[in-house]
């Protein structure tokens, strides 16, 4: 199957403002692209790219005073299958984890493991280790958090989401990641596109999505506590410890988001 996806973002700056954009598809999906996904900037400004410490592609710009429009519309090939469910995937003891997975056991900006350690073991320590434990965590987070954009705030942590019982997709992911890490399961935050392919469309406007991956049986698997079901057509942009590592736009100065559209739609006829 083929998916047309992209964005149209406008930012207003009172003065020239350095920014880091993280909008390109993850390098693991680049070979599936039919067209370039380089952000187009209006007015045209100089840009440069680099890979961060997690392998995500970042674009540096200095947005001029006034309105800067950032757009892209790209076509990608997708296998069109539901994400795998692997009940036999086992949790590895910490001493057998690869070194690159160890950082995803540690607390981070939005995933304060020290505040939920005892809660995690009390609630999930009795659940068989491995896939069943991660899925049980997702089931709990899916029930516990009430979704609503009115509950979103950029400073909300996993502990606060747990305490308040409300949030958006990033809060679901942060809480599930934190509970996994408390139980010695490496978990990392993911951001990207998730369209309503194969499911009933939601009435809310499309947005970038947040989910997570857990390291089981020697590899990373996708989990989504917000939707809590395997999906088709998920497109990864970036991975990190939590949302602080994968911000779509990091601004080093004042700015206002004056326009925001995201789309991802199956395209027939290719």
Question: What's residue 22's pLDDT?
Answer: 98
> Where does CATH 2.60.40.2250 sit in the chain?
2-80+248-267
Class level of CATH domain 2-80+248-267: mainly beta
Dihedral angle of Cα 182, 250, 21, 240, to the nearest 10 degrees: -10
From residue 81, give the alpha-carbon distance in Å to each of 49, 195, 232, 235.
32, 14, 6, 13
User: In the chain, which residues have pLDDT < 50?
Assistant: none
Contact 24, 72 (CB under 8 A): no
> What pLDDT does residue 270 have?
66
Domain with CATH 3.10.620.30 in the chain: 94-245
pLDDT at residue number 38: 94
User: Which CATH class name applies to 94-245?
Assistant: alpha beta
The closest of 230, 135, 208, 213 to 177, measured between CA atoms, is 213
């Amino acid at each position: 199957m083929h998916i047309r996806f992209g964005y149209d973002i406008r930012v207003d700056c009172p003065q020239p403002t350095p920014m880091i954009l993280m909008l390109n598809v993850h390098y693991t999906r680049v070979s599936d692209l039919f067209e370039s996904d380089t952000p187009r900037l209006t007015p045209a400004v100089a840009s440069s790219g680099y890979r961060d410490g997690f392998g995500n592609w970042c674009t540096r710009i200095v947005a001029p005073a006034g309105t800067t429009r950032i757009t892209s519309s790209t076509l990608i090939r997708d296998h069109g299958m539901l994400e795998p469910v692997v009940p036999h995937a086992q949790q590895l003891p910490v001493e057998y984890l690869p070194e690159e997975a160890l950082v995803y056991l540690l607390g981070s900006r939005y995933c304060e493991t020290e505040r939920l350690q005892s809660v995690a073991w009390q609630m999930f320590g009795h659940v068989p280790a491995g896939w069943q434990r991660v899925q049980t965590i997702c089931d709990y987070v899916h029930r516990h958090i009430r979704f609503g954009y009115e509950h979103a705030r950029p400073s909300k942590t996993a502990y606060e989401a747990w305490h308040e019982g409300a949030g958006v997709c990033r809060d679901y992911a942060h809480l599930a990641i934190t509970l996994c890490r408390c139980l010695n399961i490496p978990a990392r935050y993911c951001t990207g596109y998730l369209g309503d392919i194969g499911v009933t469309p939601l009435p809310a406007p499309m947005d970038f999505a947040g989910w997570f991956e857990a390291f089981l049986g020697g590899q990373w698997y996708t989990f989504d506590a917000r939707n809590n079901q395997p999906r088709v057509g998920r497109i990864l942009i970036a991975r990190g410890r939590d949302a602080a590592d994968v911000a779509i736009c990091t601004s080093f100065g004042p700015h206002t988001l004056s326009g925001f559209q995201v789309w991802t739609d199956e395209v027939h006829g290719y």
